[in-house]
Structure 1
C-alpha cells in the first residue's frame, strides 16, 4: 500500500466504516452485529440513511440510540426503539421470516464466493486457533436479503479454500443457489481496508469494484490467496 494513505488524516478502520455506511443509503432495516458494523450502521443512520431501522440480535428493533452502543445489550438500544423482544422472537419472526433487508458479517477467512469461516484455523479436530464460532451468523447468511461483509484483507484471510465453512456464500452455480430456497441472495458486497467488491451474477465470484485512496491493483492482488 502506498505511504500516501498515512497522509490522508484517517485510519484504515475509519475508511472501511465510511465506505460501508455509504452502501446503506435507501435501506429500510439492517441487522447490525458487533464491532465495526455497529459503528457503520449508527453512522449511516446519522447521515445517508436517517430512516434506517437498526436491528440488534439482543431483541431491539428500530433502535435509535442517542450514543454509540457499547454492546448489543446496551440499554440505550431500548430507549426510543420500535420494539424490544426476545432474541428467539427476533430470529424466528423477523430474520427467519425474511424481513431483514441487510445484515453485516465478518470472519477470519473468506473465499472467492463469499463463504466465511469464524470457527477454526487449521484442522477442525486439531485447530491452530479456535475461533468464536457461528453464533447467529449462519442463520443471518441464509435469511437476510443481502449480506455486506466487512473485514481486513490479507492472504491469510482471503483464501483459496476455507479451513471451515461457517456461513455459506455463493456456490458458483446460480441455478443451485436459487434452488436452495433461502430468503437471502447471499453476500452482495465486501468492504476491506484495501478495496470494495461485489459478486458476479453468473459465477458468484468476488469482483473488485473500487480501490481505496493510495491503494493499487497490485496491492490488492498481493493480499489475496487466489488469482482474481
Structure 2
C-alpha cells in the first residue's frame, strides 16, 4: 500500500505512545500521532494540551492547543499553569518537540539562526513551553525534517535541553534523573540515544533509505544501533485510521 513520508512519520510517533501513559502534545504531526495511537492501540492514552485540556477524546484535528475540541469529553479543562505543574511534578510520560536545529545530544534550538541573540540573521519563535516539557517530562519525542541545516554539530542557541554535554550533564544542571530525549523521528529514519554516551544513534532506516543517505543529511557522525533495523511501513489499518478518521481533509497528510 502506498504511503507518504509524512504518514510514515506519524505512524512511527504513534507506535511510541503506550496505552495508559500521559503525553503532552501540540498540534500538527504530534496531535495526529496521538489521535492515531488512541484509536488504534492506546485507548487509555491521556493527552494533555498546553492550554489546559486534559484527557480529551479528540473528535477532529484541533487547529490550536486552545481549540474547543481539546476539551471534548475531557477529564479536565484547566490552565497552562496546571499543565506545566503536572509536568514539573513528574506526571507526564511523553512530550513531542521540534526545532530549527538539533545537535548530537538532542539539544534543540528554536530561538535564532546566525548572528547574535541581539542581531540574529533569522529570529525564531523561542521556547514557549518546550524548555519546561523537555526538562521535566520523562521522555521527549522529537519530530524533525532530516537535513544538514537542522542536524548540526553545535547549536546557534540552546533553547531546549537534551542531554546537554553528555552523561550526567542533565543531573548536574538540576534536572531530574532518567529524563531526556527518547526518539528522533525524521523523514529518513528513527534515531535514539546511546545509553552510555548519550549521543544520537541511528536506530532504523525507513524503507528504501540507505545509511549513506542518512549520514549525508546529518552534520555530525552518527553512532549506529546494533543491529541496524528497518522501520516497518505503515499498515493498512494505520493508514485507514489516519486518512478516514484523523485527517480526512488532508490538512497534514498532503504535505508529502
Q: When the two structures are superposed, what TM-score results if normalisation uses the length of structure 2? A: 0.82
**C-alpha displacement at 1:96, in angstroms?**
1.2
2:108 pairs with one of 116, 123, 126: 116
CA–CA separation in structure 1 for the residues paired with 2:204 and 2:20: 21
Could you give the per-residue CA deviations for residues 58-77 of structure 1, whole angstroms, max 9, x where no partner exists? 10111111112221111112
Question: Aligned to 1:91, what secondary structure does the other structure show?
Answer: helix
**C-alpha displacement at 1:153, in angstroms?**
0.5
Q: In the alignment, is the contact (CA less than 8 A) between 1:21 and 1:48 conserved in 2?
A: no
CA–CA separation in structure 2 for the residues paired with 1:200 and 1:179: 19
Question: Aligned to 1:63, what secondary structure does the other structure show?
Answer: coil
Residue 227 of structure 2 is aligned to residue 226 of structure 1:
no
RMSD of equivalent CA atoms = 1.4
CA–CA separation in structure 1 for the residues paired with 2:27 and 2:68: 15
Question: Aligned to 1:122, what secondary structure does the other structure show?
Answer: strand
Residue 96 of structure 2 is aligned to residue 95 of structure 1:
no
**C-alpha displacement at 1:27, in angstroms?**
5.1
Could you give the per-residue CA deviations for residues 77-135 of structure 1, whole angstroms, max 9, x where no partner exists? 2121011111112212x111111000000011000100000010112222121111100
Q: For the structure 1 residues 158 and 173, does the alpha-carbon distance in structure 2 shift closer, same or farther, using more than 3 Å as the test?
A: closer
The aligned length equals 220
1:106 pairs with one of 98, 103, 108: 98
Could you give the per-residue CA deviations for residues 151-194 of structure 1, whole angstroms, max 9, x where no partner exists? 11000000011011100111344233334442361101100000
Q: In the alignment, is the contact (CA less than 8 A) between 1:115 and 1:169 conserved in 2?
A: yes
Question: Aligned to 2:55, what secondary structure does the other structure show?
Answer: strand
2:184 pairs with one of 161, 185, 190: 190
Question: Aligned to 1:174, what secondary structure does the other structure show?
Answer: coil
Taking the TM superposition and a 5 Å limit, the aligned residue runs for 1:73-222 are: 73-92=66-85, 94-123=86-115, 124-183=117-176, 185-222=179-216
Q: When the two structures are superposed, what TM-score results if normalisation uses the length of structure 1? A: 0.92
CA–CA separation in structure 2 for the residues paired with 1:27 and 1:152: 29
Long gaps (5+) in structure 1: 1-7
CA–CA separation in structure 2 for the residues paired with 1:113 and 1:207: 10
Taking the TM superposition and a 5 Å limit, the aligned residue runs for 1:10-49 are: 10-26=3-19, 28-49=21-42
Q: In the alignment, is the contact (CA less than 8 A) between 2:19 and 2:43 conserved in 1?
A: no
Q: In the alignment, is the contact (CA less than 8 A) between 2:163 and 2:169 conserved in 1?
A: no
